[in-house]
Amino acid sequence: MHDRCSGCELKYERAPGYFLGSIYINYGVTAIVMTWAYVLFHFVLDIENRYVMPPILLFCLVFPAVFIRYARSFWLGLDCYFDTESFGLNEPDESHADGDQESTDPQPPAD
């Protein structure tokens, strides 16, 4: 995993153990997909457990390893969305920082 974004220099791992929360996302998505796959194959399509379980167990081993980068990306996105201050996204806009404020009050018609 890269240390920083090549486009905007955003540091990905913002603190030690920062991506620990992404494990919950990874686990949750794996559990939901596995559960729905089991329900579909066993109860809807009426396939026996001895044929359903091996591919589902294989899925439980392979999917989290593939999905980890997307879970981390989602975790970083959530943090960026809910904690904009620590990402420097609440800095004042430069174009309006000079103190001049245009009046938004309606002006009387000139006649």
Interface residues with Zn ion (CB under 5 A) are 5, 7-8, 10
Q: Which residue is nearest to Zn ion (CB)?
A: 5
In whole angstroms, how large is the CA radius of gyration of the chain?
A: 25
Least spacing, CB of residue 6 vs Zn ion, in Å: 7
Q: Look-up: residue for tokens 């026996």? A: 48
Other Cβ atoms within 10 Å of 96 Cβ, number:
10
Least spacing, CB of residue 87 vs Zn ion, in Å: 11
Other Cβ atoms within 10 Å of 33 Cβ, number:
15
Least spacing, CB of residue 62 vs Zn ion, in Å: 29
In sequence order, what are the residues at sequence separation of 6 or more whose Cβ sits closer than 8 angstroms to the Cβ of residue 79? 14, 86, 87
Nearer to Zn ion, 85 or 100 (CB): 85
Crossing angle of helices 20-38 and 49-82, rounded to 10°: 140
Least spacing, CB of residue 77 vs Zn ion, in Å: 11
